[in-house]
Amino acid sequence: MKTILVVDDEKNYLVVMEALLTAEGYDVVTTNNPRKAVAIVQEDPPDLLITDMKMPHMSGLELMRSVKAMHLSLPVIILTAYGTVETAVSAMKEGADHYLLKPFDNDEMKLVVKRVLDMNTLAEEKSLLKRELSKRIGEDGFIGLSPPMKEISGLIEKIARTRTTVLIEGESGTGKELVARAIHKASDRSVRPFVAVNCGALTETLLESELFGHEKGAFTGATARRKGLFEMADGGTLFLDEVGTTSPALQVKLLRVLQERSFERVGGEKKITVDVRVIAASNKLLKDLVTQGVFRDDLLYRLNVFTMKIPPLRERREDIGPLAAYFAAAFCVELGKEAKLIPDSVMERLYKYRWPGNVRELRNVIERAVVVSSLDSLSPSDLPAELSEDASGKGGLPGGSYELKKPLTEAVNDYEKALITTALDRAGGVQAAAARLLGISPTNLQYKLGKHKLNQP
């Protein structure tokens, strides 16, 4: 039985409220003394507080503040006369859940009380589920039973409290940023900022300004001085995602920051010193980029003081089940749906699929399934077509096996075009996201779109 505390200096309202709400099956406690109400909440918190706004010695707003200081989640309904509606609105801004004008309609009062209590119950259930889900993840932020992920979790614990620069390598969608955040969270820098930037998503000029900041007038549009990400991350961690896409000129500046821990803003001369731990990530092997002449070997040596390799999801299939279950539970909580089971018929397809988009793709697939599902468990029909068609485990890649009916160059072009089309479809037409799925830079994708005439209307 839900308990409701009603506070009003007018005793006739207390009598009416007690009779009205008791008839609805609630346990009702009343008092005309707001100070006594504070003591009641402190000793035995009710499920709902209903208070008049204007009372001697303590206003309803003051009472709400006092009880919220003890129990932030306690729902509050404010009763107010016509002349104090503005005050009631202010109370809602401070945390009240609803307000009613006096004299109130009995049916409206019953409806509002039920709605507020139902919403609070739902919020409590969501909070409980989120706490349970957090326990499943573990302190380091990882879900998985596979030996590689257990090893990575152990490595995070070892290197977190050092200043060591870390290089994280792995395919797009494997969770490189998650690893970086886990390192930061476990370090003594956790109270300072974690700042992330995707180097592949910005042009050279823009990225330089983002990283190092700029002075007023440094370039057209620089109307004021701006701090860069290195300054914002001072004392904390800076995560450079897709660092392999940076230009040679910018690589020189990054090398200097790593060596000297100082830099100048774009257009500035003043040396700025920072204490920043750098964690870099790449979906390509940087040593291969060094061999190709597009990445500096001295910068590589600075970045890979400690290297972590995140295996693709297809190489740690024992993690698919726990990940899928976690994502399903999390999205049910987020979308306000009842918990959904994942039957063997669905799990079989998840295990067979090759997951070219890795954990990120699995997350998107489960989110879609939860959204479209109308039953208490997911079904194969809730999954994208490529999972149903992928019984061979080839990852749903377009084209299947090729027969030797075309010259090699033409066949390769057709396959590349099909891959790009599939990536754009999975990324919802967002080219930067499609480029990440394909493991290429946005500039490279633009070139290939033009080459295959895919960017024409």
The reply to whether 140 falls in a domain is no
Same domain, 213 and 359: no
CATH at 446: 1.10.10
Query: Long-range contact list for 350-353, CB < 8 A, 24+ apart?
Result: 350/320, 350/321, 350/324, 350/387, 351/317, 351/320, 351/321, 352/390, 352/391, 352/392, 352/393, 353/386, 353/387, 353/390, 353/393, 353/395, 353/396
Query: What is the C-alpha separation between 376 and 436, in angstroms, rounded?
Result: 34
The last residue of one of the domains, among 287, 311, 335, is 311
Tokens standing for residue 310: 């995140």
Query: What is the C-alpha separation between 456 and 402, in angstroms, rounded?
Result: 27
Same domain, 327 and 268: no
Same domain, 198 and 301: yes
Same domain, 285 and 346: no
Same domain, 305 and 333: no
The reply to whether 397 falls in a domain is no
Same domain, 97 and 112: yes
CATH at 382: 1.10.8.60
Residue 337 confidence (pLDDT):
80
Query: What is the C-alpha separation between 401 and 403, in angstroms, rounded?
Result: 7
394 burial type by CB count under 10 A (0-12 exposed, 13-18 middle, 19+ buried): middle
Residue range of the domain that includes 343:
316-388
On the question of a cis peptide bond just before residue 380, with omega within 30 degrees of 0, the verdict is no
50-63 as b/e, with b when 16 or more CB fall inside 10 Å?
A: bbbbbbeebbbbeb
The reply to whether 401 falls in a domain is no
How would you classify residue 267: left for phi > 0, otherwise alpha for psi between -120 and 50, otherwise beta? left
The reply to whether 456 falls in a domain is no
The reply to whether 395 falls in a domain is no
The reply to whether 398 falls in a domain is no
The last residue of one of the domains, among 280, 311, 342, is 311
Question: What average pLDDT does the segment 181-208 reach?
Answer: 91
Same domain, 214 and 294: yes
Which residues, in sequence order, are bridge partners of residue 49?
5, 76
Query: What is the C-alpha separation between 40 and 46, in angstroms, rounded?
Result: 8
Please report where in the chains the tokens 């726990």 appear, as a residue.
Answer: 322
The last residue of one of the domains, among 311, 346, 361, is 311
Same domain, 153 and 291: yes
Residue 396 confidence (pLDDT):
40
pLDDT confidence band for 375 (50 / 70 / 90):
confident
Q: Are strands 76-80 and 194-198 parallel, antiparallel or unpaired?
A: unpaired
Same domain, 9 and 116: yes
Query: What is the C-alpha separation between 114 and 112, in angstroms, rounded?
Result: 5
Read off the pLDDT of residues 274-291 as tens digits, 9 standing for 90 and up: 999 999 999 999 999 999
pLDDT confidence band for 16 (50 / 70 / 90):
very high
How big is the CA angle at 79 (ends 75 and 82), to the nearest 5 degrees? 140
CATH at 105: 3.40.50.2300
Residue 83 confidence (pLDDT):
57
Same domain, 68 and 201: no
pLDDT confidence band for 400 (50 / 70 / 90):
very low
Query: What is the C-alpha separation between 9 and 360, in angstroms, rounded?
Result: 57
The reply to whether 399 falls in a domain is no
pLDDT for 94 beyond 90: no
Read off the pLDDT of residues 299-332 as tens digits, 9 standing for 90 and up: 999 999 999 999 999 998 888 888 888 888 888 8
Read off the pLDDT of residues 228-283 as tens digits, 9 standing for 90 and up: 999 999 999 999 999 999 999 999 999 999 999 999 999 988 899 999 999 999 99
Question: What average pLDDT does the segment 347-358 reach?
Answer: 89
Domain total for the chain? 4
Please report where in the chains the tokens 């970045």 appear, as a residue.
Answer: 303
Same domain, 362 and 423: no
Residue 88 confidence (pLDDT):
66
Choose between 351 and 122: higher pLDDT. 351
- Give pTM, 2 decimals: 0.56
The reply to whether 428 falls in a domain is yes
pLDDT confidence band for 334 (50 / 70 / 90):
confident
CATH at 238: 3.40.50.300
Same domain, 47 and 129: yes
Highest mean pLDDT among 69-78, 157-166, 235-244: 235-244
- Mean model confidence pLDDT for the chain: 84
Residue among 225, 200, 198, 224 nearest 212 (CA): 225
